[in-house]
């Protein structure tokens, strides 16, 4: 215990030795004093008598409150605070414990005097405004201030004794140990949440998963993201809170605590608004995914209608998230400006005027938004459809009120403004069709070829692997045209959306095998040249 006592005293000595010069330096800067004593949180406006009430502080604590005219605020606060600091320094150097504080009335002015070691100092005058903020008489107000001084100054002296400092040092060590332990626990928890979050990362989600599974993964990812940020915020809050609490334990550092608290007041407000907005947006995203997955998993619709419904729900969910994100960021910025004291009313009015001016200058953006809204409402296409817009054909990967993004067969991501979508061909809405032409030689028996094609189509329709992708029996349309490849037979196969290419490839493979087995070669392109030999006698 003796060793711990000496170690604690040593740590406290180093801490005080470091902080005392800092306090001396800080006392030279009026801007820091202004930050501490003139903060809006530390001053109460009294509009009735055009005065403000501010704290006079002793070792960072509010000892008593005085009223000052707004026009003379800085001078009065500095004067009283300077005299109180001088009184404190004299009292701390004095060996006597008792202090004489008197209240004297001179020329109808109530003055407070402090006597230390035969040195008499006038501290301040008590005004009627000071009495008004307390709701007391002038004499009662003076007596109350004297009582607060008689309690505050001895307390400041007792807080500088070795016994008090050792006790506060032990508390400091316990708080530091507690902060380190809590941060270690939270750090392990944070790493675990981060690992779970990375496993659910939307960019790492396999495309082979169903839409329901992808939405569930996205919902869980949003919740993990919220937990991850909350743990980070909790770790930071514990560290900063522990530091501020430790600074408040010692009279030498309590002023620094006040300066830090006052300095970070506005940043903390803005940060809190940002985090609340961020968490609100993430919760809204998770809620949208939850509602979407519940709608998709419902059995109220037929399987065919439900598949189309899934694409539409996914598209609407994507657009809703983008709108909520923009709305949340806008509200967050507006509230943050109000929190730091900016009058947002002119800002909003100016934003409205600017928005009106931009609306005239950016008519294409308005057209994009209107056309995008109609595309979504009318279900012209959705995320996951394959469409043809002008010369662009590909898979719709993203759609919002302004643009549509399409991935073509070469892997290029093509962005099309919604106002440019005038005529669109949806290749995967409700159902698709495999359109095939099968060439046969002019020498081949057409009826035998048609019969063989029909047999292949019937067998493929009955195959368990393909029957769920083929919606109706294939239509053998018959001879379609004559060409350089021979006679062309046309076949239509109605398939599930986006399955027409798979069905076409498999059907061609089976036709090739069947024709080879039947000895009916598929005619390649050919050209016949006829030569006419003329009679030489003519």
Q: How would residue 482 be classed by pLDDT, with cut points 50, 70 and 90?
A: confident
Identify the pLDDT of residue 17: 40
Q: What are phi and psi of 127, to 5 degrees?
A: -105, 165
pLDDT higher than 50, residue 38 = no
Q: How far apart are the first and last CA of the chain?
A: 138
Q: How would residue 348 be classed by pLDDT, with cut points 50, 70 and 90?
A: low
Identify the pLDDT of residue 354: 65
pLDDT higher than 50, residue 278 = yes
Identify the pLDDT of residue 72: 64
Q: How would residue 28 be classed by pLDDT, with cut points 50, 70 and 90?
A: very low
Q: What are phi and psi of 62, to 5 degrees?
A: -75, 110
Point out the least confidently predicted range of 16-20, 268-272, 360-364.
Answer: 16-20
Identify the pLDDT of residue 378: 78
Identify the pLDDT of residue 334: 82
Mean pLDDT of 101-108: 84
Q: Is 477 helix (H, G, I), strand (E, B) or coil?
A: strand
In our burial notation (b when 16+ CB lie closer than 10 A, e otherwise), range 83-93 reads bbeebbebbee
Identify the pLDDT of residue 36: 39
What does the mean pLDDT of the chain come to?
Answer: 79
- pLDDT per residue as tens digits for the range 65-100: 888 776 666 677 888 889 999 989 888 888 877 788
Tell me how far apart the alpha carbons of residues 296 and 298 are, in angstroms, rounded to a whole number: 6
Mean pLDDT of 253-262: 88
Mean pLDDT of 513-519: 86
CA 403 distance to own-chain centroid: 23
Q: How would residue 527 be classed by pLDDT, with cut points 50, 70 and 90?
A: low
194-208, 218-232, 286-300, 523-537: which is most confident = 218-232
Identify the pLDDT of residue 339: 78
Identify the pLDDT of residue 530: 57
Q: Is 102 or 357 the better-scoring residue by pLDDT?
A: 102
- pLDDT per residue as tens digits for the range 40-61: 334 444 444 566 788 888 888 8
pLDDT higher than 80, residue 240 = yes
Identify the pLDDT of residue 22: 38
Tell me how far apart the alpha carbons of residues 16 and 4 are, in angstroms, rounded to a whole number: 18
Q: Enter the pTM of the model.
A: 0.61
3-state helix, strand, coil in the chain (%, to 5): 60, 20, 20
Kindly state the percentage of the chain with pLDDT values over 70. Answer: 79
Mean pLDDT of 427-435: 81
pLDDT higher than 60, residue 414 = yes
Q: How would residue 493 be classed by pLDDT, with cut points 50, 70 and 90?
A: confident
Q: Is 512 or 315 the better-scoring residue by pLDDT?
A: 512
Reading the block at residue 3, the tokens are 């060793």
200-214, 227-241, 261-275: which is most confident = 227-241
Identify the pLDDT of residue 366: 74
State the alpha helices, DSSP H only, in 362-484: 363-378, 446-462
Tell me how far apart the alpha carbons of residues 74 and 521 are, in angstroms, rounded to a whole number: 104
Identify the pLDDT of residue 443: 78
Reading the block at residue 370, the tokens are 């209107």
Identify the pLDDT of residue 35: 38
CA distances from 466 to 292, 368, 436, 470, 471 (A): 30, 41, 17, 6, 10
């Amino acid at each position: 215990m003796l060793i711990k006592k000496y170690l604690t005293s040593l740590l406290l000595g180093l801490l005080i030795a470091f902080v005392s010069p800092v306090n001396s330096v800080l006392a030279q800067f009026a801007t820091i004093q202004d930050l501490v004593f003139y903060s809006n949180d530390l001053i109460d406006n009294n509009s009735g008598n055009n005065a403000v009430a501010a704290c006079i502080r002793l070792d960072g604590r509010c000892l008593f409150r005085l009223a000052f005219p707004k026009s003379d605020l800085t001078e009065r606060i500095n004067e009283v605070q300077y005299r109180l600091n001088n009184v404190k320094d004299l009292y701390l150097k004095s060996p006597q414990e008792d202090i004489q504080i008197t209240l004297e009335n001179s020329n109808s002015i109530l003055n407070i005097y402090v006597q230390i070691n035969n040195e008499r100092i006038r501290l301040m005058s008590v005004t009627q405004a000071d009495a008004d903020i307390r709701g007391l008489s002038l004499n009662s107000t003076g007596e109350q201030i004297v009582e607060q001084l008689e309690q505050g100054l001895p307390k400041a002296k007792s807080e500088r004794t070795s016994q008090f400092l050792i006790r506060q040092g032990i508390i400091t060590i316990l708080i530091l140990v507690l902060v380190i332990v809590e941060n270690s626990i939270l750090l392990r928890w944070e790493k675990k949440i981060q690992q779970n979050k990375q496993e659910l990362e939307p960019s790492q989600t396999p495309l082979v998963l169903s839409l329901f599974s992808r939405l569930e993964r996205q919902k869980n990812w949003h919740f993990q993201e919220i937990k991850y940020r909350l743990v980070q915020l909790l770790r930071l809050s514990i560290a900063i809170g522990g530091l501020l609490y430790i600074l408040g334990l010692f009279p030498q550092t309590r002023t620094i605590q006040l300066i830090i608290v006052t300095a970070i007041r506005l940043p903390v407000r803005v940060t809190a608004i940002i985090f609340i907005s961020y968490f609100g947006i993430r919760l809204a995203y998770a809620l949208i995914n939850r509602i979407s997955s519940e709608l998709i998993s419902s059995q109220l619709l037929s399987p065919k209608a439900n598949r189309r419904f899934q694409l539409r729900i996914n598209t609407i969910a994507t657009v809703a998230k983008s709108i909520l994100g923009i709305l949340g960021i806008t509200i967050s910025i507006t509230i943050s400006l109000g929190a730091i004291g900016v009058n947002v009313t002119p800002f909003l009015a100016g934003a409205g005027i600017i928005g009106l001016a931009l609306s005239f200058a950016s008519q294409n953006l308005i057209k994009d938004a209107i056309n995008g809204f109609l595309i979504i409402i009318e279900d012209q296409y959705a995320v996951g459809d394959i469409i043809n817009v002008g010369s662009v054909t590909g898979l719709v990967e993203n759609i919002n009120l302004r643009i549509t993004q399409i991935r073509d067969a070469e892997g290029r991501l093509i962005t099309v403004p919604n106002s440019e979508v005038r005529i669109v061909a949806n290749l995967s809405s409700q159902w698709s069709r495999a359109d095939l032409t099968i060439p046969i030689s002019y020498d081949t028996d057409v009826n035998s070829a048609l019969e063989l094609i029909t047999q292949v189509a019937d067998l493929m329709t009955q195959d368990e692997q393909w029957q769920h992708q083929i919606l109706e029996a294939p239509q053998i349309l018959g001879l379609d045209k004559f060409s350089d490849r021979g006679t062309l037979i046309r076949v239509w196969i109605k398939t599930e959306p986006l399955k027409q290419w798979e069905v076409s490839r498999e059907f061609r493979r089976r036709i090739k095998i069947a024709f080879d087995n039947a000895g009916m070669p598929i005619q390649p392109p050919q050209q016949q040249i006829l030569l006419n030999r003329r009679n030489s006698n003519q």
